[in-house]
Amino acid sequence: MKKLFLIASLFVLSLPSFGQDNVTEAYFHELKGMEDSAGVTHLFYRQFVRSYFQCSEGNGGHKVENRSNDIHHFNVQAQSDKMKFRDGFAEWCLDGYYYDSQGIHVYEFYDNDPEKWIAIGTYEYSFAINDYQENALNIETPILIKQKSKNVFDYSQPNDFYLSPNGDSLYVEVGRTVPFTGRSNQWPDFEDYDDFVAYADSLSFSKKIIGIHPFIDSLYFATNSSGQLFRSEHYTGNFELADTNWYFNNLTFADDTSHIYSFRKAGIIRSSKLGEPGSWQFRSINFTTDASRHYTIDRASANRIFVSDSTTILHSTDYGDNFSPLTTIDHQITGLYKKPDSDLLYVLTREELLEVNVETKATTSLKQIPVSRERLPEVPTQVELKQNYPNPFNPTTVIAYMTQNNGHVQLSVYDQLGRKVQTLVDEFQEAGIYAVTFDAKSLASGIYYYRLEADGKIASKKMTLIK
């Protein structure tokens, strides 16, 4: 059955600016950074917004909540900022509890290219790993397990992954670690949950991969359920216990091929011998607040470490033996990124994205949290056809699109021979954001194309039906 519903009002607060009086909370957090092949710095951060909207009496008359946690991409050279991934939750103005949700849980990039991404995404209750080439790794889960052997391991939705530095291997966390190729065009297709379990049972292992050395691709680090660190010089084989004194959940590698760091709330754990057993040492830091800590190193100068203490940045030049105050920021710090082999440190606060020169202490504002009280636009500013989700699918999937102007809209599905197999929309529509549920239960497995015609523009995308 085809379902069509207007969602224009649901993601208003996910647009690049906001400012209606019903916004109750807004802040920046979760900074990531990288250098592309030309040495240009790319920063990624989340903008959280919470708001409430009063529905009209004709639509229930109740107050609904909207939350967005979108990921933005700031190109330092171009001084440009744009939304990279949408992440949000929005209730409907209808009687009963109806809502839309979509999110990005984990994301990484191939070849240090901001356009070549891979991410774990969700749409409603569906989980999948997707990439920039529109490939998807779907892991189906059972709705109900009536009986199982006590030796059968329960797999769940993908909640994390680790992409090897050279992009050739992908390790997906689904209760256990399941390895896949990093080349998405070679990802397996699972017919059902049992098909996935057979694959996972034959290849999965209990340890969680938390690091692969960027210059020694056979040097792997993993943890067990107790956070103890294991090390292997043979990829995922022959792991040896590297440290039992601390709980490890992160590793940062320096470019000197010797130093490795792990950050904790009370200080740092470091190794100067590539993480060999017996080489890990803890160095405490004299923090003055209980605020969340954010760490970064200058990968090109392994001795330089930066850490936040609420609004203060502390700096070490001796591999973490000693820290001293570097500078103080106006607002609480929520992320740090050090550009390698430079004097530039990027600082994210709840209110602002900053560039700090660590030598001169000069601070430049790159982006501020929007404070405008102007009313948000309630219609999109362009025509856009979204990738269907989930993809691959069986037998239903959701296709979303945006139209800029009122007018006739046609959305159709075609097979690989160009034959129209179904018309999903063929009517006059007001400008807005729409989503259609496409039911392909009567169609055979294969590649299909869906095409949108609106505002004198045409857009099409590919989707895969697997039965």
The answer to whether residue 46 scores a pLDDT higher than 70 is yes
DSSP 272: S
Express each pLDDT in 71-124 by its tens digit. 999 999 999 999 999 898 877 765 555 567 788 989 999 999 999 999 998 765
State the pLDDT at residue 282. 97
CATH of domain 17-368: 2.130.10.10
206-232 tens-digit pLDDT: 999 999 999 999 999 999 999 999 999
In the chain, what's the furthest Cα-to-Cα distance?
Answer: 70
Q: Quick: pLDDT tens for 328-365.
A: 999 999 999 999 999 999 999 999 999 999 999 999 99
* Order of all β-strands in the sheet with 396-403: 3-6, 432-439, 396-403, 384-385
Please report the pLDDT score of residue 146 as a whole number: 40
Count of CB atoms situated within 10 Å of the CB of 403:
24
Residues 6+ away with beta carbon under 8 Å from 162: 170, 171, 209, 210, 211, 212
Mean pLDDT for the stretch of residues 18-23: 50
Q: Is residue 21 scored above 60 in pLDDT?
A: no
Structure tokens given for 56: 């009209």
Q: What is the DSSP letter of 13?
A: G
In this model, does residue 298 exceed pLDDT 50?
A: yes
Between CA 273 and CA 277 the distance in angstroms is 9
Distance CA 119, CA 107 (A): 4
Instruction: Give me the pLDDT at residue 56, please.
Output: 67
More confident residue, 92 or 316: 316
Residue type, 240: E
Residue 154 confidence (pLDDT): 60
pLDDT at residue number 457:
87
175 is written with which tokens? 């209760």
Q: Report the C-alpha gap between 60 and 269 in whole angstroms.
A: 55
Spatial CA neighbour of 305 closest among 287, 313, 317, 322:
317
Q: What is the rounded average pLDDT of the residues 374-391?
A: 64
d(CA 162, CA 174): 12
Q: Taking all residues of the chain, what is their mean pLDDT, rounded to a whole number? A: 85
Spell out a b/e string for 420-429, using b for 16 or more CB atoms within 10 Å of the CB, else e: ebbebbeeeb
> Which class does domain 384-465 fall in?
mainly beta
Of the candidate ranges 50-59, 60-69, 322-331, 347-356, the one whose mean pLDDT is the lowest:
50-59
How is the chain split into domains, by residue range? 17-368, 384-465
Residue 250 above 90 pLDDT? yes
> How much is the pLDDT for 138?
75
Closest CA relative to residue 216, chosen from 255, 267, 177, 245: 255
The Cα 45–Cα 265 span in angstroms is 21
311: helix, strand or coil: coil
The burial class, CB within 10 Å (0-12 / 13-18 / 19+), for 369 is middle
Which residue did the predictor score with more confidence, 374 or 36? 36
Q: What does the pLDDT look like over 132-145, one tens digit per residue? A: 998 888 776 554 44
